[in-house]
Structure 1
Amino acid sequence: MRKRLIACAMLASALGFAATAERAPVSAEALTQELIVPSGQKVEFFETVMDRPAMGLTARFRFLAPELPRYLERLSYEELEADLAALCVGYALPRLGEPSPAMIVISLTSEPTEFGDPAPDVAQVFEAYRPVEGTCAWEAF
């Protein structure tokens, strides 16, 4: 499963979804908030990118996780997905505006990267969720 996450991230980057993406404004509070995820790895907000691929309005919340390569060596898929789900429910959902997106994508990256640019040497993982009744429902690609 971990390989699927990394492969999906690399595919999304290679396809260049950034062509229709817009950066959302970020508050000072969002940049300084300490984020706690179940695995204990250090995570900080990086950026939000809004775009409209074929599946509808998508809010992409990108987070820096400098120790991600080390965590990928020891975390199970379930533990990693728990981190992503926690960021979706605890960080992304409270920050959604109108119109509400059809999809929320949560991504972790070990280094800052330009959205849509290939970065094969950078550890990156992501999962997609649908906002449903105040929670994040995992969405299979």
Structure 2
Amino acid sequence: MRCLAPLPILLCALGAPVTAHEVPSGQDVGLEEVLVEEAGGETLLRFRFVAPAIARESRALGPDQALPDLDHLCTSVALPYLAEHDLTAARMVLSLADRPSAFGVADAEITRFFEAYRPSGGNCIWEGL
């Protein structure tokens, strides 16, 4: 596990290979990284995916098509990742970006979609952002 500092919270990047995932829209999606944040006694996991089809230039897919993809990635990638790495989380934020990017670095050229979920009883409960 690689921890990034200095931050007021613990932020760690767990090794996550970039792989294609089948999603309802049929777009190509790869996992860029998983970040683990500890703040206020709770754990937040960020699953950052790359999805070139959401780029503004082509806009092959918009937010309405991305939401089912994020829901699917939560159940098919995020929940198994928690189990595989013996992690618990109060909340998970899943994001799609049209290209890889450094976490926390603003770039107006990148298209991003985010959704928040709470893992509960083997399910992803949408919390909306």
Q: Runs of 5+ in structure 2 lacking a partner?
A: 1-5
* Deviation, structure 1 residue 55: 8.0
Q: Which runs of 4+ in 1 moved over 4 A?
A: none
Larger strand proportion of the pair? 2
SS in 2 for 1:140: coil
Other-structure match for 1:67: 53
* Deviation, structure 1 residue 128: 0.4
CA contact (8 A) 2:63 2:113 kept: no
Other-structure match for 1:94: 80
Other-structure match for 1:137: 125
Which of 39, 43, 47 aligns to 2:33? It is 47
TM-score, normalised relative to structure 1: 0.74
* Deviation, structure 1 residue 71: 3.3
**Paired-residue identity, %:** 35
Is 2:21 the partner of 1:31?
A: no
TM-score, normalised relative to structure 2: 0.80
Q: Runs of 5+ in structure 1 lacking a partner?
A: 1-17
- 1:66-124 superposed Cα distances (whole Å, 9 cap, x missing partner): 1212134xx463x3211101000001100113340111111000111111111111001
CA contact (8 A) 2:32 2:49 kept: yes
Other-structure match for 1:108: 96
Q: How far apart are the structure 2 equivalents of 1:64 and 1:22? A: 19
CA contact (8 A) 2:118 2:126 kept: yes
CA contact (8 A) 2:66 2:113 kept: no
CA contact (8 A) 1:41 1:71 kept: no
TM-align CA RMSD: 2.0
CA contact (8 A) 1:55 1:102 kept: no
Decide whether aligned partners of structure 1 residues 119 and 105 sit closer, same or farther in structure 2, where only a CA change above 3 A counts. Answer: same
The alignment of Structure 1 onto Structure 2 pairs a total of residues equal to 117
Q: How far apart are the structure 2 equivalents of 1:83 and 1:59? A: 18
Choose 130-139 or 55-64, whichever is displaced more.
Answer: 55-64
Decide whether aligned partners of structure 1 residues 50 and 130 sit closer, same or farther in structure 2, where only a CA change above 3 A counts. Answer: same
Q: How far apart are the structure 1 equivalents of 2:100 and 2:74? A: 19
* Deviation, structure 1 residue 56: 2.1
